[in-house]
A and B are shown apart, each in its own frame.
Chain A
Amino acid sequence: MKQPEIPISPSKYIKRYLKRCITGPISLLMGLSVTLRYFFNPKRIITEQYPENKKTLKMHPRYRGCLELIEDENDENLCTACGLCEKACPNASINILKTKNIAGKKVLGQYLFHLGSCTQCGLCIEACPFGAIRMNQEFELSSESVDSFDLILNKKEGRG
Chain B
Amino acid sequence: MSSRKLPPGFREEVLDSDTEEYFVNMGPQHPSTHGALRLALRLDGETIVEVVPHFGYIHRGIEKQAESMNYLQYIMLSDRQDYLTAIQNNWGICLAFEKGLGIGVPERGEFIRVMLAELGRIASHLVFYACFGGDLGGQTALLFGFKEREMIHDILDEVTGSRLTTNFFRPGGSVHDIPDTFIPRVTSFLEHLEKSMVDYERFLSKNIIVLERTKGIGILSKEDAIAYGCSGPVLRASGVSYDVRKNDPYGIYDQLDFDVPITYRGDTYDRYVVRIAEIHESIKILRQCIKLFPEGPYRSKEKPSIRLNPGSYYSATETAKGLYATYVVAASGDKPYRIHTRGPSFANLAALNNMARGHKISDLVSILSTIDPVIPEIDR
Contacts and interface: CB of A to CB of B under 8 A. Distances in A.
B282 to A, nearest CB: 21
Contacts of A1: 219-221, 224, 354-355, 357-358
Given A1-B354, A63-B161, A119-B165, A84 B203 contact: no
Interface in B1-28: none
Nearest to A121: B76
B227 interface: no
B219 A27 contact: no
Interface string B190-205: 0000000001001110
A63 B158 CA distance: 7
A151 B138 CA distance: 46
A8 interface: no
Interface stretch (B206-214, B271-279, B368-376): B206-214
Contacts of A59: 157
B178 to A, nearest CB: 11
B208 A24 contact: yes
Given A1-B355, A27-B208, A90-B69, A46 B150 contact: yes
Contact of A27 (B207, B220, B354, B355): B207
- Do most interface residues of chain B lie in helix, strand or loop, or is the interface mixed? helix
B231 to A, nearest CB: 20
B175 A122 contact: yes
B206 A121 contact: no
A91 B32 CA distance: 33
A27 B206 contact: yes
B209 A28 contact: yes
A23 B208 contact: yes
Nearest to A65: B161
A124 to B, nearest CB: 11
Contacts of B167: 121-123
Interface stretch (A29-37, A72-80, A140-148): A29-37
Contacts of A23: 208
A62 to B, nearest CB: 4
Contacts of A122: 161, 167, 175
A127 interface: yes
Chain B: number of interface residues, binned into ranges = 35 or more
A34 to B, nearest CB: 5
B176 interface: yes
Nearest to A46: B147
B187 interface: no
Contacts of A60: 157-158, 161
B73 A2 contact: no
B76 A90 contact: yes
B207 A123 contact: no
Nearest to A37: B199
A100 interface: no
Interface string A7-28: 0000000000000100111011
A3 interface: yes
Contacts of A63: 157, 161-162
B109 to A, nearest CB: 16
A34 B203 contact: yes
A92 B358 CA distance: 51
A88 interface: yes
A64 interface: yes
B69 A31 contact: no
A64 B69 contact: no
Contacts of A27: 206-208, 211
A84 B203 CA distance: 53
A2 B359 contact: yes
A150 interface: no
B323 interface: no
Interface of B: 69, 72-73, 76-77, 138, 140, 144, 147, 150-151, 157-162, 165, 167, 175-176, 179, 199, 202-204, 206-209, 211, 216, 219-221, 224, 304, 354-355, 357-359
4 nearest interchain CB pairs?
Answer: A2-B358, A24-B208, A90-B73, A62-B161
Given A1-B224, A46-B151, 6 more contacts: A1-B219, A20-B208, A59-B157, A60-B158, A63-B157, A120-B165
16 contacts: A1-B224, A3-B216, A35-B140, A46-B151, A60-B157, A60-B158, A62-B160, A63-B161, A63-B162, A64-B162, A90-B77, A119-B165, A122-B175, A123-B167, A127-B304, A129-B304
Interface of A: 1-3, 20, 23-25, 27-28, 30-31, 33-35, 46, 59-60, 62-64, 84, 88, 90, 119-123, 126-127, 129, 135
